[in-house]
Structure 1
Amino acid sequence: MALPPDGSEAAAGPTGEGRAAAEEEPEGPLPERVRHRVVVLAGETFAGLRVAELPAPLRQYARFTPSRRIKYGASAIATALETDAGFRHRVAARLRTDQPELAQALTEGTVPPAADPVEVAAAAYVLRPPGWVKLLAVAGEETQRAEAEHADEERTRELERLREEVHRLRTAVREDTDRHRSELEAARRESDAVHRKLRSALSDVRRGEAALRKVRAELDEVRADASAEKAAADAEARRLRARLAESETALETGRRAAREGRSVEDVRLRLLLDTVLEAAQGLRRELALPPADFRPAQTVEAVEPGALTPHDVAQRALADDDPALLDQLLALPQAHLVVDGYNVTKTGYPTMPLDKQRMRLLGGLAMLAAQSSAEVTCVFDGAELDVPVLLAPPRGVRVLFSKSGQTADELIRRLVRAEPPGRPVVVVSADREVADGVARAGARPVASVMLLRRLARA
């Protein structure tokens, strides 16, 4: 049956054959698979139609994707196919274009032998050739038969799977039973061994209790003997204390007599010594002698033992990292020890947090300050701190942090320049630039390892 170019029925109305086909109605609802296929065919027609050519209930699904259109608009599409002949003819025209062989065969009243019953029923529903209701019924029966066969196959496969599962479970149960029997037998043997050990342990406990009772009886006897001996010792101690008191009384009497006899001789000796001293002072005044604390040897220029300078200490035969060198430097009069804090801590214990590094170093410096009596200043870099530090400096140690925009190295150089010329200043840092700078300013640089070894020795 041909359609006009606009896809609607002829103006004169359907032909006799078309009226006969239109008067036929299926006896019941479409099978679900056939209905789904009819909706899919109608949904594919949306792509070739304008929105105005669609029935009003279907226009809201025009912009949907094919899958969403079938999912959400299936009922509306099925209703439009049933009630709107124009929309059904447009779907039929699309079907004749996409499947001309199947459409031609159905129009001629024949069914391709290899065709899918669902596809044939859906095409017959859309094209509605003469006898389409019968084709729909036959397709429905074949579809039900195919679904029944498929269900039978599924049940057969499920039955086989269940049989295999039962066989596997039986096998597993037998294996578990055998394993549990073996474990039970092993547990029984282990229980027997434990019972034997328990009986042996009970015997040992009984023997131990008997030995303990024996030891307790002996201990009671020893305690009784010790009590008797203690009573005798206390009596002897009281007797000895009485004799000691008598002896102390006699000794004190003798000492008093000796002191009285010796006091007269002491007075005579002190009178004689005062006379001699007064005579010596008179002679010194008459002879105009210089004070006795001046000696001629003091007029000769030389280096006295112990009068060392930082230069003299540096010339001694000691290694650069020998802690004894640091002790000699700090033994100089009015020595000032300046420590590059983080340089020392990151050399000695870099894995610790910064607060732990500071506390450990300051504790060691406090001990060193107490031992050497030197002035100690520890400088930390303030740029490495996220927030200001609330720190109580230990006794004898001055703690300084560099200001914002200033490094600890610059603060150390300022401290060295602030000292008067000639004062022994010792700077501890492993930074070569810091060491060279303080050396030019007159300070004595030492390595951080030397201080760490000295603190470890303390």
Structure 2
Amino acid sequence: MSAYDVPDDLDPEAAVTAAQAADDQEPALPEPVRQRVIALAAGVMGGVPLDELPMPLRRVAKFAPNRRARLGGPVIAMHLSGDPLLRQRLATRVVNDAGDLGAAILEGLAPAAADPVEVAALAYLARPDGWRGLVTDATDAVRADAEGAVASERVRDVEQRLARAEHDRAVAKVEADKLRDELARLRDEAAGLRDEVRSLSKALRESQAKERKATDMLSAEKGRAVRAAADHDAELRRLRARLAEAETAAGAQRQSAKDARAVDDARLWLLLETIGQAAVGLRRELALDPTDKLPADFVADTAADRPESASGAASARALDADDPARLDQLLSLPKAHMIVDGYNVTKRGYAEISLEQQRNRLIAGVGGLVAQTRAEVTVVFDGAERVHGLPPAPRGVRVLFSKKGETADELIRRLVRAEPAGRPIVVISSDKEVVDGVRRHGAYPLASDTLLRRLARS
């Protein structure tokens, strides 16, 4: 029995009272209808004068329409259900805004194509005759739609599950096929491995047999090695005995050689003493005055240019060898004179720097060599590239530049020819013409690399 049904045995006044109570009772609205009612009321609330609104709704009316429904929804719903006058004021505006649908609702009609939620919200606000039926019908339609949506969702879920199950079945079938293929492959591999194991076992047995044979051979070889070691030790003892005898004989020979050398040293000393006394007598007989100039100085004065005068003395003659030790031996001879082909040396050793730096480096190096050996040193450069204002040469180093029309090679040969026969003259050059020329005049030529290695050692 609905709220509008009255029992037949009820008193007429009681029936009227019951009907009024039923009309005053607010129906339970579905949530979509309730939200739509609040949204319609909030949308038209801004057009109602503030003095016609309850105090709690005046602040809500100042919000934007979307914020009214969101922030003031509970307050609006409470006043709509408890304030008929407010509901009537708002309903008039809502129905006017709804147009034809609002007019149909006022007449108690619900167009078939109309949204049930919209119909229920308008009927709730306008409350025409039969509005509860409109609300109930719309509520039932909303519930039916919700239940249909739930059913459709369930159907879709079932369909998705079926699709996933079908997909899983297909995947499982593919995986099963793959596993069968993999199993067949593994079986083939296992068969191959069994064959390989049989082959390896056979090879292992053969290797073990060979190992036993090799072990036997090793034992035999060890025996032979032990016997050979014993023979070797015996031979070693015999050799040691012979070595001791040889050392004894060598000691006797060394003593004999020492005695013979002592006799030779005495004879040599006597010969040198005789030569020295003869030289003193010859110097006294010739009455030679001491001189402060050397043969190379005369050549320098007449056939060469030099940035500054330099003095030095040396002499010696050596073997034709490129070992720096041979250069030291030659320069240690009395009155040795070393003549250096300047650019031939620097361009082999310092070609990456400028000519000025090459000259300075070479002159500084031979200056250190003069300080060690006390030999006379002359460095010759081609005059075509002469540079004025060179720094002073080190003590004992003579620096010369060939004059115009003459090369350094010619100046070197002139210096060699000026020296007396018998004086040790060392010429540093890798120029074949220079080497051949000075060798014919009794000089000892050494390659440029010999001097470069000697300077590097310093």
| Same fold by TM-score greater than 0.5 | yes
Greater mean deviation of Cα atoms: 214-223 or 60-69: 60-69
Distance 1:162 1:308 in 2: 99
Q: Which of 359, 384, 394 is the equivalent residue of 1:332?
A: 359
* 1:363 equivalent in structure 2: none
Distance 2:172 2:191 in 1: 28
CA spacing shift, 1:423–1:31, aligned 2, 3 Å: farther
Post-superposition offset of 1:110? 2.0
CA spacing shift, 1:306–1:178, aligned 2, 3 Å: same
Confirm or deny: 8 A CA contact 1:117 1:142 kept in the other structure. yes
Distance 1:130 1:77 in 2: 24
C-alpha deviations, 1:199-240, integer Å up to 9, x for none?
A: 322322232232223223222322221122112112101110
* 2:44 equivalent in structure 1: 45
Q: Determine helix, strand or coil for the equivalent of 1:300.
A: helix
Post-superposition offset of 1:96? 2.1
Q: How does 1:162-201 map to 2 (within 5 A)?
A: 162-201=161-200
Q: Which of 293, 297, 300 is the equivalent residue of 2:299?
A: 297
Distance 2:237 2:49 in 1: 132
Post-superposition offset of 1:422? 3.6
* 1:246 equivalent in structure 2: 245
* 1:12 equivalent in structure 2: none
Distance 1:27 1:90 in 2: 18
Distance 1:217 1:244 in 2: 40
Confirm or deny: 8 A CA contact 2:80 2:87 kept in the other structure. yes
CA spacing shift, 1:421–1:70, aligned 2, 3 Å: farther
* 2:288 equivalent in structure 1: 287
* 1:265 equivalent in structure 2: 264
Unaligned runs of 5+ in 2: 1-18, 306-338, 369-387, 393-458
Distance 1:193 1:47 in 2: 90
Q: Determine helix, strand or coil for the equivalent of 1:287.
A: coil
Q: Determine helix, strand or coil for the equivalent of 1:130.
A: coil
Q: How does 1:303-452 map to 2 (within 5 A)?
A: 305-308=340-343, 324-326=351-353, 331-334=358-361, 422=390
Post-superposition offset of 1:136? 1.0
The answer as to 2:171 corresponding to 1:136 is no
TM-score w.r.t. the length of structure 1 is 0.60
Confirm or deny: 8 A CA contact 1:39 1:70 kept in the other structure. yes
CA spacing shift, 1:213–1:68, aligned 2, 3 Å: farther
In our comparison, the structure showing a higher alpha carbon Rg is 2
Q: Determine helix, strand or coil for the equivalent of 2:342.
A: coil
Distance 1:252 1:45 in 2: 140
Post-superposition offset of 1:64? 5.0
Distance 2:256 2:223 in 1: 50
CA spacing shift, 1:198–1:276, aligned 2, 3 Å: same
Post-superposition offset of 1:305? 4.7
Confirm or deny: 8 A CA contact 2:33 2:120 kept in the other structure. yes
The answer as to 2:160 corresponding to 1:161 is yes
- Which AA in structure 2 matches 1:242? A
C-alpha deviations, 1:143-193, integer Å up to 9, x for none?
A: 222222333333233323322222222222222212211111112211221
Post-superposition offset of 1:242? 0.9
Post-superposition offset of 1:259? 2.0
Confirm or deny: 8 A CA contact 1:21 1:129 kept in the other structure. no
Distance 1:77 1:324 in 2: 104
* 2:108 equivalent in structure 1: 109
Greater mean deviation of Cα atoms: 300-309 or 177-186: 300-309
Confirm or deny: 8 A CA contact 1:41 1:95 kept in the other structure. yes
Unaligned runs of 5+ in 1: 1-19, 337-369, 374-419, 425-458
Distance 1:64 1:199 in 2: 93
CA spacing shift, 1:174–1:67, aligned 2, 3 Å: farther
Q: Determine helix, strand or coil for the equivalent of 2:129.
A: coil
Confirm or deny: 8 A CA contact 1:26 1:133 kept in the other structure. no
* 1:97 equivalent in structure 2: 96
Q: Determine helix, strand or coil for the equivalent of 1:191.
A: helix
Distance 1:252 1:78 in 2: 137
CA spacing shift, 1:28–1:204, aligned 2, 3 Å: farther
What number of residue pairs does the alignment pair up?
Answer: 316
C-alpha deviations, 1:392-418, integer Å up to 9, x for none?
A: xxxxxxxxxxxxxxxxxxxxxxxxxxx
- Which AA in structure 2 matches 1:307? G
Q: Determine helix, strand or coil for the equivalent of 1:110.
A: coil
Aligned-pair Cα RMSD in Å = 3.7
Post-superposition offset of 1:247? 1.0
- Which AA in structure 2 matches 1:288? D
C-alpha deviations, 1:63-117, integer Å up to 9, x for none?
A: 6554454344332222122123344234213212311212222222222222121
Post-superposition offset of 1:56? 3.5
Distance 1:199 1:47 in 2: 98
Q: How does 1:12-23 map to 2 (within 5 A)?
A: none
CA spacing shift, 1:53–1:307, aligned 2, 3 Å: farther
- Which AA in structure 2 matches 1:191? A
- Which AA in structure 2 matches 1:84? D
Q: Determine helix, strand or coil for the equivalent of 1:24.
A: helix
